[in-house]
Amino acid sequence: MTASSRVGMPLRYKVVVAYDGAPFAGWQSQLHRNTIQDRMEAAIKQITSEEVRVHGAGRTDTGVHAIGQCAHFDLQTAKFKPPTLLPALNAVLPPTIRLLRCQAAASSFHARFSARGKVYRYRIWNAPVLPPLELGRAWHIFNSLDLETLRAALIKFKGRHDFAAFSASPGKKQQDTVRTLDAVRLARRGPCLTIEFSGDGFLYKMVRMMAGAAVLCGLGKMSLTDVTQRLEQGGRRDVRLVAPAAGLFLIRVRY
């Protein structure tokens, strides 16, 4: 028996969420209520009649997608079992948000603070024409990219670095900007390039800025030395490219 299933204690649920980020203003709750968090909380209230706060592992931005976001919430009553709660919530959520898994979790589990790392994927469509079904799913770059230079730039991000130069301000000062990327992978299938970043944590817009810098290198508009200097010297620079949100996917949260 978990701590959260004792008599008088709320039951904690852990869910894995997939969503198309295009129609929403990101994950985090806002006054207009058109966020993933807001829609999930409204669905839970509709099914359970309880006001809850849904805690996500990461706050994805407007237009960013997920196929493996993790979240948790507490219910005061234990009558809603995960096997029945999952389809009930999916029945009232927008079709662009789906719970893939739902299970009971220990009261000590926290979707954000228990996470040991995340995996993000960035997609680039490198061809003269973007197929309509790729709209909103990839960054369209019609100029030819030097893949070897692109790969060399991405490799520089692997390891432990101060990523201050590859982050934006979320409205408050980030105290610790050092992160560790244990893997950075580039794959190509036809015109589609996929970059996967796996690390212990990511700063605000960090993945999109790393992708942007690598693409600038691949286009011959930034040098590999510049990437190295930014990592070594830290500090935010004025000239930075933030890759479009549409190409970014939260793939998995590691626990």
Q: Show which residues are catalytic.
A: 61
Query: In angstroms, how far is CA 18 from the centroid of its own chain?
Result: 11
Query: 216 with 209: CB under 8 angstroms?
Result: no
Place of tokens 């359970």: 48
Size (the chain), residues: 255
Query: How many Å is the maximal CA-CA distance in the chain?
Result: 63
Who's near 207: CB < 8 A, 6+ residues apart?
120, 122, 197, 248
Q: Virtual CA dihedral for 127, 130, 135, 141, nearest 10 degrees?
A: 30
Give just the sign of the alpha carbon dihedral 60, 64, 69, 73. Answer: positive
For 181, the 3-state DSSP assignment is: strand
228/211 Cα distance (integer angstroms) = 15
Looking at residue 198, its amino acid is: S
The separation between CA 161 and the C-alpha centre of its own chain, rounded to angstroms, equals 20
Report d(CA 24, CA 226) in Å as an integer. 35
**Count of CB atoms situated within 10 Å of the CB of 66:** 26
